[in-house]
A and B are shown apart, each in its own frame.
Chain A
């Protein structure tokens, strides 16, 4: 116990003593040490697990009261057992995810892979960066206390940013902690297919039972529910049953819930009920960390400059980043050639090209917008201004402003030599209409995301 903790503990103990009997205090708190104090939590070291059980069951209110009166605000209380002491159970080293390996003796215990979870997708193997901090913290909180903190948890983000990884990590964490918890992981597509199957063979009851008995339901790619009305209704009831039964639900999607096309409002509002966490493309430091971690687990040795090169050139997609690493590594081990920048560039030609395309040009925007609104691309630069043409043009200008680094003047020029004021007006107008009308916002974000893909 360092000095600061010791002092803090004295203050806590003083606040605690009047609340419980002297005998209880001596019995349960005299041997407790405060080992770590942060803004959010306090970690108490207890001699063995009976202390934790008994304090959690009987004295947690008193302890919280003491914390509030001594520190001014509540803290989460964690327990740690002394290192190297026998008499502790695995229960106490909880934050460490136990290795999941199918037990050789038991057919009764399903292994993680049987649940449909990839054993590699754990919290340990997830690289946390500023882009996914919140989502990671939320997922961990959910895994540690299912249905207590954020329910439902809604994770969204683009392709290959780790939605599935986080979901599966939750599943495995919960399952490793307690094999009796019924974890269900599936994609919404599978849910729909099974639902259709159940209708066909008229065993809806069995279908319902199967899903409504889950303790932890993880549904991946929920956006596919869009437009499937009866599946939505079925899912709605499943959701309610689980939610009311205090079972944890975790959903992932490639866009925010409100932007899923043709999704009923009652579902949208339910999805937004708990916590919504976004996954963004990783920054360069995180990308480097991902590459290093991946290389370590695959036992690949590559030079720093190669990591740097890959991380700086492949920006948007973690899966692609790992693919490129694999390709470089296997090339190195198969050919034995020295890896120079040229060799790698040649090797990853297609990937780099694909990435390169992501520097979006104004022409691309014009083409995509014209295509979407079904107007001629020439209309983008023409002087004609009926509403059917003017609005798409304004949208294209707005997107050009958002997605490229071009100045107002440059954008104006690209749209048939228009004034910079015209562009500014267009941006303002589109923003205003996006704020006012949901369908416009959806349309634009759809074009936006299709451009970025």
Chain B
């Protein structure tokens, strides 16, 4: 195999795939990237057997072929190379000679045959989603994924395909984010699947604002075909909890808030929320919210926001980080906060089908 390639192109291609490579792996082949030179393209593939990613970059292929090379090492070398043009020549023993300007490297690889092939999706159910929609949807939900490994069904995002809607859900038991995307697909394609966190992180890296993504599901696996790049992942086995149970039926009070103003105020006040009691209080009174934080022996903070509010006076406490996370992820100018009382969950909504349920914290009087 022999080809020459522009440094930036190769670097970009490697960047797309190299995060999948695990640092501590039992199988040496899994720390390698599979390089396949065909036509005028190099295909780059990595996998940790749970998640696999394939990308490509343009190249002048002199001799077609395939090999695998240590991904991290190759990436580090390519990044440091001085010239913009790189030639890679791989001999029959999978030793790659890398030339660029005055630099020469030789790194040893492993044969292509040892690389585990990505699963095939022949009889899979295929649904097409606009990349922009999915990217937006994951951005607005994925921060609520649980990191508690004992609740492994929550270590991912639920993709629920039902009634011509894709519902994305993430929760960690204290908060829940849900978003719906309108979509057309046949009845037979209805399914509830859980995509693990790692695949979600990588997918978010690959999604762009243009074009569609073809989602294929089958056999405990899912594939996202993004035209130039391709990601497959195992699904989390098990049933996602009945998340609808969490969503409060009706709200007593609703306030409209300017997202950025609210977020900035929260950020400032949270500076005085201590690690221990980590909570901030929202005190509602007529047309006003006082946001307060108070840490004994440290100090206190207070910020007032003028809002349209005509309900009763009351206070509710939240974990500031949990309240700020959706505000950061959202892009809308206005958000609505629905509340029942100081012990019931608050719900954050926007004009489009999205909601975020957040449990309040106990107010110690």
Binding site for B on A (CB under 8 A): 20-21, 23-24, 27, 48-51, 53-54, 56-58, 61, 86-91, 106-108, 110, 114, 177-178, 180-181, 213
Contact = CB atoms under 8 A, between A and B. Distances in A.
A178 B146 CA distance: 15
Contacts of A87: 239, 242
A24 B340 CA distance: 11
Nearest to B250: A23
B152 interface: yes
Contacts of A213: 24
Interface string B153-189: 1100000000000000001111000000000000000
Given A24-B344, A107-B116, A50 B50 contact: no
Most A C-beta atoms less than 10 A away, residue of B25, B30, B245, B341 = B245
8 A-B pairs with the lowest CB-CB distances in the bound complex, closest first: A50-B241, A57-B173, A108-B49, A21-B343, A89-B238, A53-B173, A21-B344, A58-B359
B239 A108 contact: no
A25 B215 CA distance: 40
Contacts of A58: 173-174, 359
B338 interface: no
Contacts of A51: 245
A177 B27 CA distance: 23
B150 A177 contact: yes
Given A50-B243, A108-B48, A178 B173 contact: no
Contact of B246 (A20, A21, A50, A180): A50
Nearest to A61: B362
B242 A108 contact: no
A48 B238 contact: no
Given A49-B241, A58-B359, A89 B344 contact: no
B343 A106 contact: no
A57 B359 CA distance: 9
Contact of B343 (A20, A48, A89): A20
A159 to B, nearest CB: 33
A57 B149 contact: no
Given A21-B344, A50-B242, A53-B241, A108 B173 contact: no
B248 interface: yes
A108 B24 CA distance: 11
Interface in B191-249: 238-239, 241-243, 245-246, 248-249
Given A107-B49, A177-B150, A88 B245 contact: no
Contacts, number: 75
B351 to A, nearest CB: 26
B26 interface: yes
A27 B242 CA distance: 13
Contact of B242 (A20, A48, A178, A181): A48
B151 interface: yes
Interface of B: 24-27, 30, 48-50, 116, 149-154, 171-174, 238-239, 241-243, 245-246, 248-249, 340-341, 343-344, 359, 362
B185 to A, nearest CB: 24
Given A57-B172, A180-B149, 4 more contacts: A54-B246, A87-B242, A89-B153, A107-B49
Contacts of A90: 238
A374 B248 CA distance: 82
SS class of chain B's interface: helix, strand, loop or mixed? loop
Contact of A108 (B30, B172, B246, B344): B30
7 contacts: A23-B344, A57-B359, A86-B239, A88-B239, A91-B150, A108-B27, A108-B50
Contacts of B150: 91, 177-178
B68 to A, nearest CB: 15
Nearest to A25: B343
A108 B234 CA distance: 12
Contacts of B174: 57-58
A420 to B, nearest CB: 63
A275 B30 CA distance: 41
Nearest to B359: A58
A24 B246 CA distance: 10
Contacts of B30: 108
A51 B341 CA distance: 21
B31 to A, nearest CB: 12
Contact of B245 (A23, A27, A56, A110): A27
B360 to A, nearest CB: 9
A90 B171 CA distance: 18
Contacts of A49: 153, 239, 241
A282 B48 CA distance: 47
A365 B30 CA distance: 61
Nearest to A62: B362
A57 B344 CA distance: 14
A21 to B, nearest CB: 4
A213 B153 CA distance: 24
Contact of A21 (B154, B241, B340): B340
Nearest to A53: B173
Contacts of B246: 50, 54
A27 B246 CA distance: 8
A253 to B, nearest CB: 30
A133 to B, nearest CB: 27
Given A54-B173, A58-B359, A181 B241 contact: no
Contacts of A50: 241-243, 245-246
A213 B23 CA distance: 13
A61 B172 CA distance: 18
Given A49-B153, A53-B151, A91 B238 contact: yes
A25 B43 CA distance: 56
Contacts of A110: 26
Contacts of A57: 172-174, 359
Nearest to A209: B24
A21 B116 contact: no
Q: A51, A107, A110, A181: which has the most chain B beta carbons within 10 Å? A: A107
Nearest to B172: A57
A22 B290 CA distance: 26
Nearest to B50: A108
A336 to B, nearest CB: 47
Nearest to A215: B149
A91 B359 contact: no
